[in-house]
A and B are shown apart, each in its own frame.
Chain A
């Protein structure tokens, strides 16, 4: 439980941080450390240098930008939960973030760290995927934007290139008529989701006109339940919704671990999707 030796750098600016990463390919970005340090302690990762970007002012804070909310990558979970801008502009993010781990971890872990870590069991990747968020990355070479659908590549693997720093995420605001919910299924209060479902549902005149559903821990990366999303289009609340949610586990490859086998996870995905969609659609 003692990490191998590494160097520690805390650059004063984003540019400096980019330089530090560009000059050492074995360096790694350190944010809140809540996922990275366990890996180091278990000696599953041996970075040469940790480049601590956690206190860079450019990467912190939440901004209302009209059609979207911009969440700086180093905003802690706790700051996200308490942000009025988030609660007003993308309340699903606040709801899900409040369920991440426990209070102590939420004070250290960051929004961007959670996404860059690309853990399919993390709650926020599925949420950002469901909300069609756009991730902003900077490197010595410049800045680029990556849609969430392209960002999560594989287990613990994001589209970030070596040397790239995630600076923030744009979360498009949902307009009128949208409801949302996050269903997290876990055995103890501070543990990871066995399965999680993020749902945003738009209704007009009683029927569902659009649904976006993100699945946590149902594959190597966060997934959209596309089959259910399309089956829900135009559907009235009631039995048809339940039928549509039966498709929630289609095209998933859930993991087998101590907490659940794949068939049980598929079952959970169906039940939880139904619950999340119903709640998002405003029906008890």
Chain B
């Protein structure tokens, strides 16, 4: 490994600063402050819980204290008589109308999709499942009345461990058994790859269960005028939810309107059709009144779908020079008690990602989905891809250690070279573009890799109680979910297109309507930048409407780092259509042929003359419609739907240095460098924010977070004192930079960035921790790498009778 000289580093940094400068006058590429923020930061927000409707009632749910039990009796009558209580219901009261919460992704032929009543009727299968509810004039009375509900349970055995759940004779979560599905994908000759391989590495990694902790807890407000229903809900997916609510409850779709007002984060947890949303709709239908529910943080920890939770058995075969021959992946994926919206699809999103950026001869992926008596799992930032990236990036470090090679060098020998793009991987995806060399070289230079390695060996030689570890993660991911055709092949229940509409108002201002549903990502700003460039109008003249099925009538919402690469492109395409229309109108007004017009800085000019009309002027002409050419309809507006031909494949290199106090096991992140390649960048400030938060969330999995159930199936981590989220005080400053290899799969050249940081960072941190401890014989620490786990790992390796 050669460290780049300081001059080259300075040049690279100067170059990257230029990335932040807009080219000529364009808005795209400019680090615009977010339009959303003044309002958000000054408290003029419309969180669902802030909303109020005349005569509004409040519902609170009574939740199962049992992981698994038969419900033998529910008596809500005691609650009904209490002051302020309007109604109280049990599951029986909804049984005829509540349907079953949907699973839209039957990933295999053998999949078992159990009935999932929004309110349990005869059996509960996880602690926190709703069994009854009280509707009252305020939350306080509703909460008090819950104490008056009587429920008798007949305990059934909890099923908590995936391996035990699959063993013969295990108690069952559902009649059909504990296996939800199995899937297998093979490419190349796996046996041949492993047979006679000079190096075979065999590891089992545990992806602990995580609780997505959006800043805004979930809330639902449902109202009706007697015919139609409006649901305000803290969701990422108002459009999908509307369809699903209609399908689940039988309320006709055209009578349902879903509004996602300001939504304070989701990270996948609000990519769901929740029990409380369905029940909210049913309650307002029963009572004819607006009904609101807002969860508490503890209620959320119990009942927001969880993330990750896999046991990963990985085998890797390599040649003596480090070249990978084959990779075998066998996953157990904890589904929890039911299959929710895309539960079984989550591990399958990793199916084509374990091979990552590497070339190999053979690949096998097998996955078994397992039912347990825990909260269902589902999408959580990265969804399947962080799990895959973790496993392969950990294995690459293990391979390097096994061969005594530098972990960066081992990766270089295996990754797809820049000149090989587009490249079809062993698992069948075609990566359109990438430059792993450039991102890695830049990261190494910023990190001071060689210097840190020197310090590491010095500390090892000295036997310093504080050891230095260096972790590498050269990741890619597939995002921009997703080409509809590919989703169809994967048996997913919907398409992956996105819609955008553009309306130029009579005064020349612009309304962009998007089918994406931002909840912190800053679409209002980025979409404004795209439209401002495309239409040649000022950034300030653009507003963006979203998150209401009556306003944005067509959309597939926000998840899977899809919004810019699909929704942003749809906006661009709609702008192009508006511009075409404006050109015809301009030609008519200026009495020339459309071909004689050039469009520059928002104006159509007749080539070689001074005659021109701005697009904003034309908007008025299109509004008055006094003199429109044949075939041109009034108003400058249009819409477009974009369906990508491929996923988007951002990539990058993350490097982490940790100091591990071997006496206490405490880990301190000393430095963290991330060089990401997310293609063309619309707003570098927003990209930086996404990467920043993403890294924090990935570090949180590596070092802090874990949802823990006890032996009876009770969740122990119901508060933030027990479920540890790091804050700014616990994290280092990150050194962020980028390379720009444009995507070829969309006209903006952009790749998704929403999940990249989370996907990349977890293995970088754990690799660093293990790297620090490797001379002491440690080759793995289970996540989160708590001080206690690190201490125990060291203790286990300490020679008899020697206590460090």
Query: Residues of A with Cβ closer than 8 Å to B?
Result: 1-2, 4-5, 42, 185, 187-192, 194, 258-261, 264, 267-268, 271-272
Q: Is the CB of B730 within 8 A of A268?
A: no
Q: Is B602 an interface residue (CB 8 A)?
A: no
Q: Is the CB of B144 within 8 A of A264?
A: no
The CA-CA distance from A211 to B16 in the complex, in Å, is: 56
The answer to whether A188 and B788 touch (CB under 8 A), given A258-B708, A271-B664, is no
B786 CB contacts on chain A under 8 angstroms: 187, 259
Which B residues from 284 to 317 make CB contacts under 8 A with A?
296-299
A40 to chain B, nearest CB (A): 12
Q: Is the CB of B704 within 8 A of A187?
A: yes
Q: Is the CB of A191 within 8 A of B721?
A: yes
Q: Is the CB of A268 within 8 A of B664?
A: yes
Q: Is the CB of B725 within 8 A of A258?
A: no
A4 to chain B, nearest CB (A): 7
Bitwise interface map of B from 662 to 681 toward A, beta carbon under 8 Å scored 1, else 0:
01101000000000000000
Chain B contact residues, majority secondary structure? loop
Q: Is B717 an interface residue (CB 8 A)?
A: yes
The CA-CA distance from A264 to B299 in the complex, in Å, is: 31
* CB closest chain-A residue, reference B298: A1
Q: Is the CB of B297 within 8 A of A1?
A: yes
Q: Is the CB of B140 within 8 A of A190?
A: no
The CA-CA distance from A268 to B786 in the complex, in Å, is: 14
The CA-CA distance from A5 to B724 in the complex, in Å, is: 30
B297 CB contacts on chain A under 8 angstroms: 1
Cβ contact of B791, chosen from A187, A188, A267, cutoff 8 A: A267
Which 6 pairs from chain A and chain B are nearest by CB?
A1-B296, A189-B729, A2-B143, A264-B788, A188-B730, A271-B663
A5 CB contacts on chain B under 8 angstroms: 140, 144
Q: Is the CB of A188 within 8 A of B725?
A: yes
The CA-CA distance from A271 to B666 in the complex, in Å, is: 12
A261 CB contacts on chain B under 8 angstroms: 788
* CB closest chain-B residue, reference A38: B719
The CA-CA distance from A42 to B720 in the complex, in Å, is: 13
A-B contacts, 12 of them at CB < 8 A, read A2-B139, A2-B296, A5-B140, A5-B144, A42-B298, A185-B666, A187-B724, A190-B727, A190-B729, A191-B721, A260-B788, A268-B664
Q: Is the CB of B140 within 8 A of A1?
A: no
A259 CB contacts on chain B under 8 angstroms: 786, 788
Q: Is the CB of B727 within 8 A of A188?
A: yes
Q: Is the CB of B299 within 8 A of A189?
A: no
Bitwise interface map of B from 127 to 147 toward A, beta carbon under 8 Å scored 1, else 0:
000000000000110011001
B791 CB contacts on chain A under 8 angstroms: 264, 267
A-B contact count (CB 8 A): 53
* CB closest chain-A residue, reference B138: A2
Q: Is B8 an interface residue (CB 8 A)?
A: no
B495 CB contacts on chain A under 8 angstroms: none
A189 CB contacts on chain B under 8 angstroms: 727, 729-730
Q: Is B726 an interface residue (CB 8 A)?
A: yes
Bitwise interface map of B from 257 to 300 toward A, beta carbon under 8 Å scored 1, else 0:
00000000000000000000000000000000000000011110
A283 to chain B, nearest CB (A): 16
Bitwise interface map of B from 653 to 666 toward A, beta carbon under 8 Å scored 1, else 0:
00000000001101
Q: Is B73 an interface residue (CB 8 A)?
A: no
Q: Is B161 an interface residue (CB 8 A)?
A: no
The CA-CA distance from A261 to B665 in the complex, in Å, is: 14
The CA-CA distance from A61 to B716 in the complex, in Å, is: 39
A271 CB contacts on chain B under 8 angstroms: 663-664
B22 CB contacts on chain A under 8 angstroms: none
B409 CB contacts on chain A under 8 angstroms: none
The CA-CA distance from A34 to B564 in the complex, in Å, is: 43
The CA-CA distance from A5 to B141 in the complex, in Å, is: 9
B666 CB contacts on chain A under 8 angstroms: 185
14 new A-B contacts at CB < 8 Å, known A2-B296, A188-B726, A189-B729:
A4-B147, A42-B298, A185-B666, A185-B787, A187-B724, A188-B724, A188-B730, A189-B727, A191-B724, A192-B721, A258-B708, A258-B716, A259-B786, A267-B791
Which B residues from 691 to 737 make CB contacts under 8 A with A?
704, 708, 716-717, 721-722, 724-727, 729-730
Q: Pick the most buried of A4, A188, A268: most chain B CB atoms within 10 A of its CB.
A: A188
The CA-CA distance from A4 to B724 in the complex, in Å, is: 27
The answer to whether A187 and B139 touch (CB under 8 A), given A1-B296, A1-B299, A258-B717, is no
* CB closest chain-B residue, reference A258: B722
The CA-CA distance from A258 to B706 in the complex, in Å, is: 10
Cβ contact of A4, chosen from B144, B299, B704, cutoff 8 A: B144
* CB closest chain-B residue, reference A257: B722
Q: Is the CB of B664 within 8 A of A185?
A: yes
A1 CB contacts on chain B under 8 angstroms: 296-299
B717 CB contacts on chain A under 8 angstroms: 258
The CA-CA distance from A191 to B717 in the complex, in Å, is: 14
* CB closest chain-A residue, reference B726: A188
* CB closest chain-B residue, reference A189: B729
Q: Is B792 an interface residue (CB 8 A)?
A: yes
Bitwise interface map of B from 762 to 797 toward A, beta carbon under 8 Å scored 1, else 0:
000000000000000000000000111001100000
A4 CB contacts on chain B under 8 angstroms: 144, 147
A192 CB contacts on chain B under 8 angstroms: 721
The CA-CA distance from A235 to B232 in the complex, in Å, is: 70
* CB closest chain-B residue, reference A195: B664
B559 to chain A, nearest CB (A): 28
B58 to chain A, nearest CB (A): 11
A185 CB contacts on chain B under 8 angstroms: 664, 666, 787
The CA-CA distance from A194 to B298 in the complex, in Å, is: 22
* CB closest chain-B residue, reference A187: B724
A132 to chain B, nearest CB (A): 28
